[in-house]
Amino acid sequence: MRTRLLFPSLLLLGSLSLTAACSSGSSGASDSATAGARPGPSSGTSPVRAVDPSKIRGLRIVNDNGENSSCPFATSYPDVPGATAMTDAMKKDVEQRLATFRQLCDDDPTGADGRELNISHQFLVASGNVLGVRLTTQDRTAAGGGLRTRTYWYDGKAGADRTALALVGDGSRGAFIAALKKQLKGRDGTDAGTVDEAFADRSNVVAILDDMAFTADGGLRVTFDRDEVGAAAAGRYVVAFSKATVTPWLSGFGKRAQHQTVQPSRSLDLGATATPAPAVPTHTASGDDDTDCKKVRCIALTFDDGPAAPETATLLTYLAQYHARATFFVVGQNVAAHADLVRAEARAGHEVGNHSWNHPDLTKLTPEEVTYQLNHTSAAIKAATGKAPTLFRPPYGAVNSTVRSATKLSPVLWTLDTEDWKYPDSAKVAQSVIAKVQRNDVVLMHDIHATSVAAVPEILRTLSARGYRFVTVSHLRATM
> Smallest distance, Å, CB 452 to Zn ion?
12
Integer Cα distance of 339 and 383 in angstroms:
8
Least Å distance, CB 444 to Zn ion, is: 9
As measured in angstroms, the least distance from the Cβ of 478 to Zn ion is 24
Q: Which is nearer to Zn ion, 268 or 330 (CB)?
A: 330
CA-closest candidate to residue 292, choices 457, 445, 439: 439
Handedness of CA 328, 333, 337, 343 (dihedral sign): positive
Stretch that binds Zn ion, among 94-102, 137-145, 304-312, 364-372 (CB under 5 A): 304-312
Question: Do residues 473 and 333 make contact, with C-beta atoms less than 8 angstroms apart?
Answer: no
Total residues at the site for Zn ion (CB under 5 A)? Answer: 3
| Nearer of residues 313 and 362 to Zn ion, judged by Cβ | 362
Q: Which segment (169-177, 315-323, 387-395, 458-466) binds Zn ion by CB under 5 A?
A: 387-395
Burial of 283 (0-12, 13-18, 19+ CB in 10 A): middle
Least separation in angstroms between residue 155's CB and Zn ion is 35
Identity of the residue, 228 or 304, whose beta carbon is nearer to Zn ion in the bound complex:
304
Residues counted in the chain: 480
Residues 243-262 touching Zn ion, rule: CB under 5 A, are none
Angstrom distance (rounded) from CA 285 to CA 369 = 35
Nearer to Zn ion, 211 or 304 (CB): 304
Tell me the β-bridge partners of 351: 327
Task: Determine the interface stretch with Zn ion among 141-149, 194-202, 246-254, 392-400 (rule: CB under 5 A).
Answer: 392-400
Closer residue to Zn ion in complex, CB, 31/116: 116
Which residue stretch of 3-11, 54-62, 301-309, 380-388 sits at the interface with Zn ion (rule: CB under 5 A)? 301-309
* Closest distance to Zn ion from the beta carbon of 448 (Å): 9
Q: Which of 161, 225, 304, 361 binds Zn ion (CB under 5 A)?
A: 304
Judged by CB under 5 A, the stretch of 4-12, 107-115, 305-313, 453-461 that binds Zn ion is 305-313
Catalytic residue (one of 211, 304, 420, 447): 304
In the complex, the smallest distance separating the C-beta of residue 305 from Zn ion, rounded to whole angstroms, is: 4
Ordered strands of the 212-214 beta sheet = 212-214, 220-224, 237-241
Shortest distance in whole angstroms from residue 57 CB to Zn ion: 27
Which one of 93, 155, 305, 369 is in contact with Zn ion (CB under 5 A)? 305
Identified catalytic residue from 121, 338, 350, 446: 446
Nearer to Zn ion, 254 or 353 (CB): 353
Q: What is the 3-state secondary structure (H, E, C) of 332-376?
A: HHHHHHCHHHHHHHHHCCCEEEECCCCCCCHHHCCHHHHHHHHHH
Q: Any contact of residue 441 with Zn ion (CB under 5 A)?
A: no
Nearer of residues 304 and 441 to Zn ion, judged by Cβ:
304
Considering only the stretches 295-303, 314-322, 335-343, 393-401, report the one whose residues sit in contact with Zn ion under the rule CB under 5 A.
393-401
User: Nearer to Zn ion by C-beta: 144 or 395?
Assistant: 395
Q: Residue 116 interacts with Zn ion (CB under 5 A)?
A: no
Q: Which is nearer to Zn ion, 146 or 395 (CB)?
A: 395
The residue type of 384 is A
Quick check: is 323 catalytic?
no
Annotated catalytic, 446?
yes
Residue 31 in contact with Zn ion, rule: CB under 5 A: no
Query: Least distance (Å) from Zn ion to the CB of residue 304?
Result: 4
Whole-number minimum distance, CB 421 to Zn ion, in Å? 8
Applying CB under 5 A, the residues found at the interface with Zn ion are 304-305, 395
Active site residues: 304, 446
